Amino acid sequence: MKPVNVYITIDAEFNINDSLENPEQRSPIGFPSMARIDNGRSHGLGFILDTLNAAGLPGTFFVEVFSAHYFGIDEVKKMVRQIESAGDHDVQLHAHPCWRYFLDPEWRQTIKSIQKNDSWAGRGESALDLLKEAVELFEAITGRAPKVFRSGNLHVDADVHRALSAAGVPVSSSVGLGLHVPASPALRRWMRPILSHGVLELPVTAYSEPNLFGGERVKCLTVIGTSWPVMKSLLEWAYQEQSAPVVLLTHASEFSAERPGLPNEPKYQANTKNQRRFQLLCQYLQTERHRFCVKRFSDISPGAYPHGIVEKTHYTAPRLAGISRAIGNLWSRF
């Protein structure tokens, strides 16, 4: 059997900090919300890079660029510099349209009367102008063009893929059934890549988790939402199936909680459970590298994966996984 390709992806973004909902009291938080320092140690970006490097694995960091409208590009460059100086990691394009509201100097007033829209989907042909703006910012920040795009909130439609194709961005990872179900049935993929309007769409891995009542919940493969035994069992399933690459999604915020403090200057506290989970995953992928090949997204060529194939199966977590998670949640609330 062939090794299964695995992509560890990190959405690298600043904290909008509820500022659009509470414009009088709150303001966005820049690089400190990625670094997440407590006691001189990073429990965010630094932790992720250290863990990947300790296992010799590359990560793909989707860097959010529209936050530059609020902070300026130098603040975004700080995280790009740290990622690029840490090793052979990949920096690609991520964008949340909601950050564009800060283009208005009077945003604290005007935002109160605006119907906010943070979705890439449903924008029709105007998706291309939005994408061109994002690509220009990415080029100003990194000095090169993006090869891969991840939409904010994993909202995507055919117009976004058409825009990517027109802008010369050949790969996207903007589908994730556990977070959002695309309106188009053609884009509803658990794992399998699809060619959409000339763009290779490689979804964030989704799976189902049976619940206590005979139903199921669709989830994305994340550090915060997927226990280590389920991650491992999913990887083993993917290897046995030999059907599609595995794409994990995580964020710096998953590795530390915000402690109560001033609303615009939170303090951070390590989330040791999630940190351990990510360390176990990386150690496993290092040990099992003859079966799992961790790659950078920019290494993908658009013809790398067969993409016209109907998706017949998906991974289902063991029934006990959902039950133990429900009990764990109840226990922590108690």
CB 5 within 8 A of CB 304: no
Cα gap 279→310, rounded to integer Å: 34
CB 14 within 8 A of CB 96: no
| Segment interacting with Zn ion, rule: CB under 5 A, options 125-133, 148-156, 259-267, 291-299 | 148-156
| Segment interacting with Zn ion, rule: CB under 5 A, options 6-14, 172-180, 206-214, 302-310 | 6-14
- Determine the Cα angle at 99 with ends 93 and 104, to 5°: 135
Is 11 near Zn ion (CB under 5 A)?
yes
CB 256 within 8 A of CB 38: yes
Is 209 near Zn ion (CB under 5 A)?
no
DSSP sequence for 35-64:
H-EETTEESSHHHHHHHHHHHT---EEEEE
At 111, the amino acid letter reads I
Cα gap 122→132, rounded to integer Å: 17
**Shortest approach of Zn ion to residue 94 CB, angstroms?**
6
**Shortest approach of Zn ion to residue 211 CB, angstroms?**
27
Residues contacting Zn ion: total by CB under 5 A: 3
Residue closest to Zn ion (Cβ): 11
Strand partners, 210: 216
Cα gap 131→136, rounded to integer Å: 9
| Segment interacting with Zn ion, rule: CB under 5 A, options 27-35, 145-153, 270-278, 284-292 | 145-153
Cβ nearer to Zn ion, comparing 16 with 300? 16
Cβ nearer to Zn ion, comparing 222 with 233? 222
Is 254 near Zn ion (CB under 5 A)?
no
**Shortest approach of Zn ion to residue 64 CB, angstroms?**
6
| Segment interacting with Zn ion, rule: CB under 5 A, options 13-21, 162-170, 214-222, 281-289 | 13-21
Cβ nearer to Zn ion, comparing 14 with 292? 14
Binding site for Zn ion (CB under 5 A): 11, 13, 152
